[in-house]
Structure 1
Amino acid sequence: MRPDLGRHQGRGVRKQRGLTQNELAAAIGRTSSWLSQVERGIQPVNRLDVMRLLADGLGVPLQVLQPDAPIAPEPGPVEDITPNDLDQARLVISGHPALDVLLSPREDFRPETLSELRAGVDRVWDLTHGDQFAELSAALGPLMPRLERASRTAADEHRSELHLLLARTYQALASAFVRQNEADAAWVAADRAIREAEQSDEPLGMFAGIYRLAHAFVRLKHLDQAEHAAATAISALQRHIEQTDPRPQELSVLGSPHLTLALVHARAGERAAARQQIAEARAVAQQLNEDRNDFNLEFGPTNVEIQAVSTAVELSDAGEVLDIGTDLDTTGLSIERQARLLMDLGRAHAQRRHFGDALDYLLQAEEIAPEMIRSHIAARDTIRELMLVAGRSASPELRALAERADAMP
């Protein structure tokens, strides 16, 4: 694919539509400076999904901008909708789960149930990290109201821990909603996580909630809000750490929003800024010198490299993805992190037109985290692109994967 083909057509179509660069950039979730560089030929567009994003923003078929792009068949009567297993979880957060307790305050919490609630929250995170969203949704149905009621009816000595358990649960839900492209619900869950963490007297939990909130903003394409949330968290933590001997938990929480900013800049096409944030995260990880999972953030040297891979694939730097990620040992991290690396390696091979290798990595990711491949937009887009390029010569393995992921073109 020649990246220079679409830039002049795109500029002409934009002007015909009466759109300014600012208006089109906002519509597709990019910055006006990135769009200006694309139209002037400074910033190449090598990825089919980015070219399709431009075409959608302009309201024209992809072939207007990229004449040699594969032509997708007309969709059938059933719309292509990303599968969602979190409908029950949406209902759980749709309203207040403990209104009757507010009307009739009473102490009916039994302290002996604390261990059971702790185990329930741990299981919620196991399901979240494993991309087992249907099971997660079912588990939250009874757990969330119990935690909400307990935090209001327990004696003072137990309330701080119960609020922290609630914060962890809402953080898990926010993470799951982001990965299932339910960003509006992720925003609600992250906001509640921040509130509960503040009531738990654990300020670092608030920063973890802000991290989840920033990712909801990224999914909503509100990159300015995501950048503000992450940068504010970094600034506050940095000032605190400079005045004290930082604890490992504080370094872990500090490094995570740097990775968020790397994603924000990558989505905006701001290559230098994205790389700078990865470098900042690497410096924090080097100071930490171990992989940790404080507040389920999985921050450490290994996860920084996984995020460096994700940033590089967003920037279409497929060679860098393969240099960093091919021999990276992720066995100590969650299934979700392991599968994410495999998926991004598959995406990088697809960018380099190594279609056999791309399929192999996507199949490996599906083997350990099938729901990620079924629900992740980037994975589905990559599979669909492989199918479009292969056409009638698509292998049985690729065709079966596309059918399982609901990614048939």
Structure 2
Amino acid sequence: MSRRPLTYSYIEHLRWYTLDRRQELAARREAMGFTQESLAQKLGVEASTVGRWERGTLTPQPWRRPRIASELKLSLAELDALLNPSTSGAAPADATISRRDVMRDTALLTGTVLAHRWLPAGTVAEASSDGAALQGLPSTTAAVTRLHETYQAARYAEVAGALSTVADAITALMSTSQGQERRQALILRCSAAVVEAKLATKTGDGAAARVAAERAKAAADDADDPFGQAAAAYQMTCALLKLDQAAVAEELAVGAAASMTGDDPRRISWAGALTLIAAIIAARRNDLATARGRLDTAQRLADRLGRDTNIGYTAFGPTNVTIHRMSAAVALDDPYQLLATSERLDLMRMPTGLRGRRAQFHLDSAWAHTQIDEDALAVLHLLETDRIAPEIVYTSRTAHNLIRDLMARERRRDVPGLRELAIRTGVAA
């Protein structure tokens, strides 16, 4: 179903709610003695990012807000008020669009999903309150492990709330460690930056994902850690795809995969993961032969590994190769191939905790059934995605488009649960 066009009047509404109403955020920065450049340096972002926050064309991701609030000497509630000013003032005379509509289109225009819309109230404060407990290498290592596991469980709000605290703990560790302990701290810095890049990619912020991936690579280079370098390359590939730089992303993924040679299971896993994303990129440019060749290469790597694993949080193994074959079929617009492939899949073989991967299977299946007018089966898969990983349904543009398409058909009475799902995800009022 096509979206209504954005008219000039609509853009003016958008400006009224965001662009012209974040002047107090800029004023607070200036009052604290920061230029956009100096605040950006403190926060580890580009100066242009701070400018976009103040202009209202970008909203800071939830995990960044504790750091921003700290630098500006604000509470999280006060920062939120500056980011979302009161709308009690008079709107333009021709105002006919709800604030909810405006905010939804703000997300689409900036390429983000406005993660704060699904972040439960108080999550950031609660997740950040245990910072004192993160002292020393063992507790910080455990915290980074939890970040990855929580992300793979598709609990993105939890990850967002904890990132800042973990980053601060790693910075503190870096300031006191030497020798081998410092190398381990660098590896942790890389690993945490990888999680940050994943989350930024998930919410559609390619620029933030690239900055985080660059930070991951710098730490991995300093630690001389080939597996951190592979992880950073993977996340940079994802960021470049979000920034519409598919050719550069593909070259990076293929090169990084080629560098992972040998029989070490970690090398096999990273070679496989990078080969899989390269296969999806080929499928997106409709190069069936290259996509299939890379998927077959990944299959051989998975067979060498011999089992489904989660080494380096890659989730790589035979089952994940099959899931990527399904995703390639989506890119190639071939629902029948996807459904045929899905029949060979046994999700129970995957390691526990990989809810994001399981949800991807159901989301791709929902797409296929929607394409061939099997609405009831499509809705069942969407509902299962919502049960397994609700935050994926709330943040995925693919899920929203599927729900919107299914709602547009005259079959809603035959697909129980669709209307309620549409309301929960904000697709329908």
What corresponds to 1:136 in structure 2? 159
Percent of aligned positions that are identical: 28
AA at the equivalent of 1:321: L
What corresponds to 1:212 in structure 2? 235
Quick one: distance in 1 between partners of 2:197 and 2:225? 19
What corresponds to 2:143 in structure 1? 120
1:366 matches 2:386: yes
1:260 matches 2:277: yes
CA change 1:164–1:390 in 2 (3 A) is: farther
What corresponds to 2:302 in structure 1? 285
4+ residue runs of structure 1 moved beyond 6 angstroms? none
Deviation track 1:269-291 (CA, whole Å, cap 9, x = no partner) reads 22222222111111111122122
Number of residues of Structure 1 aligned to a counterpart in Structure 2: 312
Task: Give yes or no for contact 2:190–2:219 (8 Å, CA) kept in 1.
Answer: yes
Q: 1:154 aligns with which of 177, 196, 210?
A: 177
Where do 5+ consecutive residues of structure 2 fail to align?
2-95, 120-132
Task: Give yes or no for contact 1:380–1:405 (8 Å, CA) kept in 2.
Answer: yes
Bigger mean CA offset, 364-373 vs 265-274: 265-274
What corresponds to 1:233 in structure 2? 256
Quick one: distance in 2 between partners of 1:327 and 1:219? 30
Q: CA deviation at 1:318?
A: 1.0
Q: Report SS of the residue matched to 2:346.
A: coil
AA at the equivalent of 1:378: T
Quick one: distance in 2 between partners of 1:392 and 1:320? 27
CA change 1:155–1:326 in 2 (3 A) is: same
* Structure with more relative contact order (C-alpha pairs < 8 Å, separation 6 or more): 1
Q: CA RMSD in A?
A: 2.7
Within-5 A mapping of 1:156-305: 156-237=179-260, 241=261, 245-305=262-322
Quick one: distance in 2 between partners of 1:75 and 1:112? 50
What corresponds to 2:115 in structure 1? 85
AA at the equivalent of 2:182: R
Q: Report SS of the residue matched to 2:410.
A: helix
Where do 5+ consecutive residues of structure 1 fail to align?
2-73, 90-109
Task: Give yes or no for contact 1:343–1:365 (8 Å, CA) kept in 2.
Answer: yes
Q: CA deviation at 1:83?
A: 3.8
Task: Give yes or no for contact 1:173–1:186 (8 Å, CA) kept in 2.
Answer: yes
Q: TM-score, normalised by structure 1?
A: 0.71
Quick one: distance in 2 between partners of 1:198 and 1:361? 42
Task: Give yes or no for contact 2:272–2:316 (8 Å, CA) kept in 1.
Answer: yes
Q: Report SS of the residue matched to 1:390.
A: coil
Q: CA deviation at 1:75?
A: 7.5
Q: CA deviation at 1:135?
A: 1.3
Q: Report SS of the residue matched to 2:409.
A: helix
Bigger mean CA offset, 301-310 vs 142-151: 142-151
What corresponds to 1:405 in structure 2? 425
Task: Give yes or no for contact 1:168–1:295 (8 Å, CA) kept in 2.
Answer: no
CA change 1:220–1:389 in 2 (3 A) is: farther
Quick one: distance in 1 between partners of 2:359 and 2:332? 20
Bigger mean CA offset, 338-347 vs 110-119: 110-119
Task: Give yes or no for contact 1:171–1:189 (8 Å, CA) kept in 2.
Answer: yes
Q: CA deviation at 1:216?
A: 1.1
AA at the equivalent of 1:330: L
Quick one: distance in 2 between partners of 1:398 and 1:235? 45
Q: CA deviation at 1:396?
A: 5.1
CA change 1:111–1:339 in 2 (3 A) is: closer
Quick one: distance in 1 between partners of 2:298 and 2:310? 15
Quick one: distance in 1 between partners of 2:134 and 2:362? 43
AA at the equivalent of 2:114: N
AA at the equivalent of 2:266: Q
CA change 1:407–1:275 in 2 (3 A) is: farther
Deviation track 1:308-360 (CA, whole Å, cap 9, x = no partner) reads 11111221211121112245222333011111111111111111110000000
Quick one: distance in 1 between partners of 2:416 and 2:375? 14
CA change 1:152–1:112 in 2 (3 A) is: closer
Quick one: distance in 1 between partners of 2:404 and 2:302? 36
Task: Give yes or no for contact 1:271–1:315 (8 Å, CA) kept in 2.
Answer: yes
Quick one: distance in 2 between partners of 1:377 and 1:361? 16
Q: Report SS of the residue matched to 1:319.
A: helix
Task: Give yes or no for contact 1:227–1:264 (8 Å, CA) kept in 2.
Answer: yes
Q: CA deviation at 1:201?
A: 2.5
Quick one: distance in 2 between partners of 1:75 and 1:262? 42
Task: Give yes or no for contact 2:141–2:188 (8 Å, CA) kept in 1.
Answer: yes
Quick one: distance in 2 between partners of 1:288 and 1:337? 19
